Amino acid sequence: MNDIGAPDSHHLNAAQGWLELGNHSEANEELAKISASLGDHPEVLEVRWAIHAAGKCWPTCVEVAEALVKVAPDYLLGWIHRSYALHELKRTQEAFDLLLPSTSLFPEEPLIRYNLACYSCQLGKPKEALDWLEKALALGDYKQFRLMALEDPDLQPLKAEILKLAKSSQR
């Protein structure tokens, strides 16, 4: 994809700024000023997803993330965002199923494995969840992912097992 030039880049930056300030309505207004020809640019879609996520408009988030996966399949966050939105819609099995193929596209990405652990846990598959979590811990910043796992509501059913994993590790 081509870089976004001025003035569209200014509108994109302004939209990101409004999002950081917690105002997704103003962010959406800035994004609307971007040229229609850039509507499917990955950076524009990323911000559009964030705007709708801030408003908890999960069906629209699924649509935007699906477009992002389609136009930029090598863009990790499209895969993550689509499954996250599906999970928020209580479509966790679909979230898992659609994220799973990304493991071969991103073999070294721990966040994919972490999310698969969360979805597996919520689907009542604790052994599978622990397997995915161990893969995430092995690939990523062990301490960061361990702390995240211990605080994540999706993984709370496994908290005791996660603590055991942490204690048995020499990291």
- pLDDT tens-digit readout, 123-166: 999 999 999 999 999 999 988 999 999 999 999 999 999 988 75
Q: Mark whether 31 and 85 lie in a shared domain.
A: yes
> What is this structure's pTM?
0.88
Cβ-proximal residues to 163 (8 Å cutoff; 6+ apart), any chain: 150
pLDDT for 169? 53
Q: 146 in a domain, yes or no?
A: yes
Q: Mark whether 122 and 47 lie in a shared domain.
A: no
Of 45, 65, 91, which residue is a domain's last?
A: 91
pLDDT tens column, 36-55: 888 899 999 999 999 999 99
List the CATH number of the domain containing 81.
1.25.40
pLDDT tens column, 58-76: 999 999 999 999 999 999 9
Q: 130 in a domain, yes or no?
A: yes
Of 61, 91, 121, which residue is a domain's last?
A: 91
Please state, for a pLDDT cut of 90, what percent of the chain lies above it.
Answer: 73
Q: Mark whether 41 and 113 lie in a shared domain.
A: no
Q: 102 in a domain, yes or no?
A: no
Whole-angstrom distance, CA of residue 126 vs CA of residue 60: 30
Query: Domain of 73?
Result: 1-91
Residue 2 reports pLDDT greater than 70:
no
Q: 100 in a domain, yes or no?
A: no
Of 91, 118, 141, which residue is a domain's last?
A: 91
Residue 89 reports pLDDT greater than 60:
yes
pLDDT for 164? 84
